[in-house]
Amino acid sequence: MNVPGTRTRLRTAAALALLLLAPTACGSGGPEGTAANAQASPADDPVAAVRTVESIAALLPADVRKAGTLRVGSSIGSPPAAYYPDGADKPPAGQDIDIADAVAKVLGVRLERQDASFETILPALSSGKYDFGTGNFGVTRERLKTIDFVTYINDGQGFAVKKGSTVLASKVTDLTQLCGLTIGTGAGTTFETTLIAQKGVCAKAGRKPYHVKVYSENGATLTALQQGRIDVIMSTINGLRHQAAQPASQTTFLGEYHRLDVGFAFKKGSPLTKAFQAAVNELIDNGTYARILKKWGTSASAIERSRINPPEHAPEHA
> 76-89, pLDDT tens digit by residue?
978 999 999 875 57
- Pair 29, 129 in one domain: yes
Residues of the chain with pLDDT under 70: 1-40, 87-88, 314-318
Are both 274 and 200 inside the same structural domain? no
How remote is the C-alpha of 182 from its chain's centroid?
22
- Shared-domain flag, residues 183 and 264: no
Let me know if residue 286 belongs to a domain.
yes
Domain count, the chain: 2
Judge if 194 and 296 occupy the same domain.
Answer: no
Tell me: do 129 and 267 sit in the same domain. yes
Same domain, 74 and 170: no
Residue 193 lies in a domain: yes
For residues 144 and 169, membership in a common domain is answered with no
Write down the pLDDT at residue 25.
28
Positions of E strands within the chain: 69-74, 110-115, 132-134, 147-162, 182-186, 211-215, 232-236, 251-267
Residue 318 in any domain: the answer is no
Domain with 212, as residue range(s), is: 156-258
Position 306 in a domain:
no
Considering the domain architecture, whether residues 147 and 26 belong to the same structural domain is answered as yes
Concatenated DSSP letters of 184-253: EEETTSHHHHHHHHTTTHHHHTTSPPPEEEEESSHHHHHHHHHTTS-SEEEEEHHHHHHHHHSTT--EEE
The closest of 109, 102, 108, 128 to 49, measured between CA atoms, is 102
CATH number (domain holding residue 147): 3.40.190.10
Give dist(CA 23, CA 246) in Å, integer: 7
249 lies in the same domain as 264: no
Q: Kindly list the strands in the beta sheet with 182-186, ordered across the sheet, starting from the edge strand earlier in the chain.
A: 110-115, 69-74, 132-134, 251-267, 147-162, 232-236, 182-186, 211-215
- pLDDT value of residue 87: 57
Query: Residue 40: its pLDDT value, please?
Result: 66
The predicted pLDDT at position 159 comes to 97
Instruction: Work out the burial of residue 89: count CB atoms within 10 Å of its CB; fewer than 13 is exposed, 13-18 middle, 19 or more buried.
Output: exposed
Specify whether 150 is located in the same domain as 268. yes
Q: Give me the pLDDT at residue 78, please.
A: 84
Q: Does residue 316 form part of some domain?
A: no
Q: Would 70 be classed as within a structural domain?
A: yes
Same domain membership, residue 213 and residue 112: no
Does residue 109 sit within a domain? yes
- The whole-angstrom distance between residue 33's C-alpha and the CA centroid of its chain comes to 27
Q: How much is the pLDDT for 4?
A: 35
Q: What is the pLDDT of residue 289?
A: 98
Q: Is residue 127 part of a domain?
A: yes
Same domain? 37 vs 119: yes
Cα dihedral 180/184/186/190 (nearest 10): -30
Predicted model pTM: 0.83
